[in-house]
Structure formats: structure tokens, C-alpha cells
């Protein structure tokens, strides 16, 4: 048998050093964003573990600061914040209150960590007494009346010192409403990362416990995308680009690698992907049962998201990954 014409792929796999030399996709600290849940509490050191998300907690401001400090020491460059207010109402008043929990957290983090990129999630669900992402009338989420509240929320985050705002509500036109208000108030240079392609996914379950944001009736399928749709993702992304988005996000990540790739190939803007709570928790649960190796599966999953074309990856594994890949950047 003549073996001289074989493709010898194993030549470049023969040692760890060679494999690293020719590796096409690397995870770097600058690619990762760690989410944090900020809890309004009378005890600033309050720290409440989230049962469905092992390793994650609801954190009052002082506890948040210390958790972020430990992550920054590992090399964390960016965070995204979600608020859990003490009081909710039908107008999401605490979402845009100057002394709201997110506004306090932003000020605190930027004072201690000036170089840290602090991103704020802009949505109303955590602040509404019904758990939906907009104003309710006749048991339906009202799109246009919700835009003013979303824009006010983004502005309050900007005024508190946020480095970037990230609307996640999926109301039509919210990027335009936010961009217009920010620009009119002197925040023309503040970046906007849009949850441009957010699916009505079953993978969000643990997050809704963590953020206390489950809807009290119905679901979010009238404003979040149908998981079966791919071409619609391009329409949503293009609309947000026209309205002023600077970064496009796909959520969830791993079940939608094709969508991440489609956005990467169709648009020149940076692409973000959110490895959501269900993706995180199922890895944690299987690892706790001894069914798989947590580190290997987590790294493989995040590498797949990066390989598909994501420039920015929001993941609850960020702190652990920084420890695992320390020194690679």
C-alpha cells in the first residue's frame, strides 16, 4: 500500500505545544463578560446563593464589589449587571430611579475599578410587578408605550457612569428610542449593545429564578423570537444596525451557533453571544452527578461559540475560565 499521498493531519497534533501553535480559536480574557445579579437589601453584604445556578448568587452592593474584585484579580475585563429591586410596580419605577440598585452598583464599581467595562442590562421585567418586559394593557404587552421607559432606564444608567447599555426587552424600535435620548443628553459616544436576536427560549429558566423576573401570566413569545426562525434573525439585526446599535447579540448561544455564524458573515459589527443560565446550569448539574468533566465541557462549549463567530461571550463561567486559561493572552 502506497502511503506517500496520505494527508497526515496527526503531524500537527503530535504534542501539546504543536497543537497550541496551530490552534485556530482561543479564548482570551478580553472576550469574556461575567453577569452579576445585584440585590437591593438592607444589608449591603447580603449574599444569597441561587439554587438553580450553582456558584452564582444575588449580591448586595458591598458583596458585589468584593466578588468583582476577586474576578478582576483573575483578569476579568467586563461585567454585565442585572438588578433585583426591593419594590416593583406597573411602571417599573425602580428601573430608572436615580438611586436604583443598578445605578448604585454602577457608581460603586466605576469608582473602585475605573478600567472595568461596566455594561448594564436595560429591561423592565425585573422591575415590573407582572414580570413582563413592557407596559401591560388588556393582558398584552404594549410596544410603543414601553419605549419611553426603556429609554429613561438606559439614560439613568448612562448618568450613573455605565460604559455600555444593553437593551434586552425585544420591543420594536427600542434601539432607536434609546439612541435618540442618549444622544440628546450628551451621550453620543456611549456604546449600545443590542440583544438583537433574542429567542423565546426554554433555556432561561434558572435566570428567571435568579432575577426574580418570571412573568405572572402568559409568556414572552409575542416579543421574543420563534426558535425555528433564522432569516428573521437577519432582519432583526439589520433593523437594530439602522437604528444605531454598535454591537449585536445572539441569545442563547450554543443552541444558536448557526445564527451567530450568520450574523458574523452578514454584518461588520462586533457580535456578542450570551451563554444563558440553562446552558450553564445543565453543565454544572451533570458535573455534580459525575456525568461529565465540568472544565472540559465548559471550555469546549465556549470555544464553539467563539469559533462560530462571537467576538464577545457573556457567560457565568467567565471567572472560572479566567482561572483555567490564565496566561494565554
* Catalytic entry in 77, 152, 198, 284: 198
Is 306 among the residues known to form the active site?
no
Query: Do 325 and 76 meet the contact criterion of CB atoms below 8 Å apart?
Result: no
**Catalytic option among 77, 251, 284, 306:** 251
Residue 186 DSSP symbol:
T
Return all residues near 168 (Cβ < 8 A) that are at least 6 apart.
Answer: 121, 122, 123, 133, 195, 198, 251
**Cell representation of residue 260:** 451567530
CB burial of 251-276 (b: ≥16 within 10 Å; e: otherwise) equals bbbbebbebbbbbbeebebebbbbbb
Q: Is 110 a catalytic residue?
A: no
What stretches of 163-210 adopt beta strand conformation (E)? 164-167, 193-198
* Grid cell of 152 as nine digits: 429613561
How many angstroms separate the CA atoms of 72 and 66, rounded? 10
φ, ψ dihedrals at 255, nearest 5°: -70, -5
Task: In whole angstroms, give the CA distance from residue 2 to residue 118.
Answer: 60
Q: How far is CA 103 from the centre of its chain?
A: 18
Environment class of residue 96 by beta-carbon count within 10 Å: exposed (0-12), middle (13-18) or buried (19+)? buried
Considering all CA atoms of the chain, what is the largest pairwise distance in Å, rounded to the nearest integer?
78
Radius of gyration of the chain (CA): 20
Looking at the annotation, which residues are catalytic? 198, 251
Amino acid at each position: 500500500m502506497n502511503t506517500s499521498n496520505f494527508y497526515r493531519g496527526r503531524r500537527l497534533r503530535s504534542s501539546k505545544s504543536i497543537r497550541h501553535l496551530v490552534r485556530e480559536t482561543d479564548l482570551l480574557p478580553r472576550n469574556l463578560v461575567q453577569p452579576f445579579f445585584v440585590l437591593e437589601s438592607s444589608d449591603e453584604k447580603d449574599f444569597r446563593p441561587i439554587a438553580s445556578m450553582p456558584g452564582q448568587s444575588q449580591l448586595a452592593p458591598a458583596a458585589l464589589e468584593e466578588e468583582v474584585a476577586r474576578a478582576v484579580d483573575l483578569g476579568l475585563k467586563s461585567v454585565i449587571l442585572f438588578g433585583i429591586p426591593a419594590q416593583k410596580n406597573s411602571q417599573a419605577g425602580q428601573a430608572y430611579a436615580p438611586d436604583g440598585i443598578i445605578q448604585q452598583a454602577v457608581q460603586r464599581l466605576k469608582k473602585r475599578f475605573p478600567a472595568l467595562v461596566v455594561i448594564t442590562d436595560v429591561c423592565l421585567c425585573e422591575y415590573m410587578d407582572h414580570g413582563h418586559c413592557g407596559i401591560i394593557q388588556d393582558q398584552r404587552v404594549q410596544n410603543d408605550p414601553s419605549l419611553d421607559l426603556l429609554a429613561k432606564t438606559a439614560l439613568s444608567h448612562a448618568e450613573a457612569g455605565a460604559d455600555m447599555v444593553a437593551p434586552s426587552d425585544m420591543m420594536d424600535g427600542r434601539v432607536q428610542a434609546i439612541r435618540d435620548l442618549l444622544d440628546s443628553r450628551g451621550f453620543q459616544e456611549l456604546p449600545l449593545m443590542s440583544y438583537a436576536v433574542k429567542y423565546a427560549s426554554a433555556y432561561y429558566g434558572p435566570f428567571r429564578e435568579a432575577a426574580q423576573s418570571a412573568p405572572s401570566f402568559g409568556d414572552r413569545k409575542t416579543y421574543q423570537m420563534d426558535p425555528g426562525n433564522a432569516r428573521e434573525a437577519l432582519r432583526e439585526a439589520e433593523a437594530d444596525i439602522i437604528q444605531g446599535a454598535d454591537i449585536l447579540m445572539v441569545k442563547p448561544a450554543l443552541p444558536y451557533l448557526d445564527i451567530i455564524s450568520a450574523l458574523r458573515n452578514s454584518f461588520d459589527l462586533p457580535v456578542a453571544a450570551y451563554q444563558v443560565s440553562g446552558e450553564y446550569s445543565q453543565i454544572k448539574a451533570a458535573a455534580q452527578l459525575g456525568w461529565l468533566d465540568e472544565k472540559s465541557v465548559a471550555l469546549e462549549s465556549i470555544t464553539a461559540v467563539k469559533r462560530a463567530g462571537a467576538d464577545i461571550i457573556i457567560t457565568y463561567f467567565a471567572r472560572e475560565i479566567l482561572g483555567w486559561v490564565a496566561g494565554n493572552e
